[in-house]
Structure 1
């Protein structure tokens, strides 16, 4: 590999890390993650490596040096912190879906409310949702960070969908890049809020 190629990879990885930091701040600002909840990862293009957010650090205050580089077997390659406790389903997704370049796990409040009521999301209700959401899978309750959860998620994404809803836990959004994944996570919450409010209003008007 030439010096130019090595330099280009490092430049790309610096951009990836900054993008992760930017998106975590955006998600925190929208109340889709809290101080210590939620996680984001991005695949280094054309490699079997990812950068992922760490465990136990405030998600809106992350710095580049806080992020962790892993391979798709779950080995830490670079970084000073423990990776997110959800690293197992992140690497499982990348192994199952070579087309996925970014994964966001957020804790969308309205999505979780509807899921707790066993109300399935209907992307046809919003034009944006119809455009961005290419299928939703629902997985049963499982311990966060567990092999069981990773197995459920990997199986659910194999069909090509780009949204997974984790029972009592949150949302997983998949994208061709981190900003597409962010858009999907945010659009999903917009859809859930719209569906929740219209469901409540319909109930009140029909009383």
Structure 2
């Protein structure tokens, strides 16, 4: 006879969380390895748009960050060719130049000290949705990590290489983890590289679902209380880590040169 039939939902959630924390073990990738893996994961996930898009993560001293060299696509990024730059985009380690658009990342880092990774890309469905000047609609269980956690910048401020764009985007982001940028693309943040990577994948998927559903009818909302419950259930460091490891294993099978 089952001995859990009398448990409440909150008790089952607490029990499951304890089991995950005890039994699921994540890889001990370095920040540079995680960043390189994320580039390959995002490439496979439809985030490729030539040389558009940037990914950064703070280094150990927090006043500098790693990023990919400008001129290389996400499918070419390895652990060894990442750059280390400061908030003026001055090259401190590595060969090459950072993307000038990394400037607006520095505004987000200064405004959000808890953020350790930023991903900005122009994937197909997010970009298409951005052209409609409508916010992202989260109305499916799998997308609830983005529920009430995705801001919207409804007007395009131009190319994000100046300080003005950095201030506009960081202000519009506020305390959210993600933002849809009209006529542009998307930006996600994370306390960890793993968190940011998964939110980026989810955001493109969410945009694809929204565009598909809009063709069939009117998208119906989900109950806020249940959506917030699902958001918190899936937005934990352990789930981020073990899910990232799955995508990393898949990426390494396709891109064995990633961790050169």
* TM-score, length basis structure 2: 0.67
**Does structure 1 retain, via aligned residues, the 8 Å contact 2:146–2:203?**
no
Computing the radius of gyration from Cα coordinates, the structure with the larger value is 2
- Which deviates more from structure 2 when the two are superposed, residues 31-40 or residues 139-148? 139-148
1:82 pairs, out of 97, 121, 130, with 97
- Is the Cα contact below 8 Å between 1:35 and 1:60 reproduced in 2? no
Q: 1:139 to 1:98 in 2, by over 3 A?
A: farther
Q: How does 1:15-26 map to 2 (within 5 A)?
A: 15-26=30-41
Partner of 2:245: none
Structure with more relative contact order (C-alpha pairs < 8 Å, separation 6 or more): 2
In structure 1, distance between residues paired with 2:116 and 2:42: 18
Q: Does 1:169 align with 2:169?
A: no
- Whether the 8 Å CA contact 1:102–1:174 is kept in 2: the answer is yes
Equivalent in the alignment of 2:196: 181
Matches of 1:48 and 1:139 in 2, distance apart? 31
Alpha-carbon shift at residue 139 of structure 1 (Å): 5.3
Q: Cα offset for 1:112?
A: 1.9
Is residue 153 of structure 1 aligned with residue 169 of structure 2? yes
- Deviating beyond 4 angstroms after TM superposition, the runs of 4 or more aligned structure 1 residues are none
Task: Find the partner of 1:108 among 123, 131, 135.
Answer: 123
Aligned pairs for 1:1-207 within 5 A = 15-45=30-60, 47-123=62-138, 125-133=139-147, 134-138=149-153, 140-141=155-156, 142-157=158-173, 159-202=174-217
2:104 touches 2:160 (CA, 8 Å); kept in 1? Answer: no
Residue in structure 1 matched with residue 229 of structure 2 by the alignment: none
2:151–2:179: 8 Å Cα contact kept in structure 1?
A: yes
C-alpha RMSD of matched pairs (Å)? 2.0
Give, in angstroms, the shift of residue 94 of structure 1.
0.7
Instruction: Decide whether aligned partners of structure 1 residues 35 and 118 sit closer, same or farther in structure 2, where only a CA change above 3 A counts.
Output: closer
Deviation at 1:127, TM superposition (A): 2.0
Give unmatched runs, 5+ long, in structure 2. Answer: 1-27, 219-260
Query: TM-score with structure 1 length normalisation?
Result: 0.82
Shift of 1:168: 1.9
1:70 positional shift: 1.5
SS at match of 2:74: coil
How many pairs are equivalent? 189
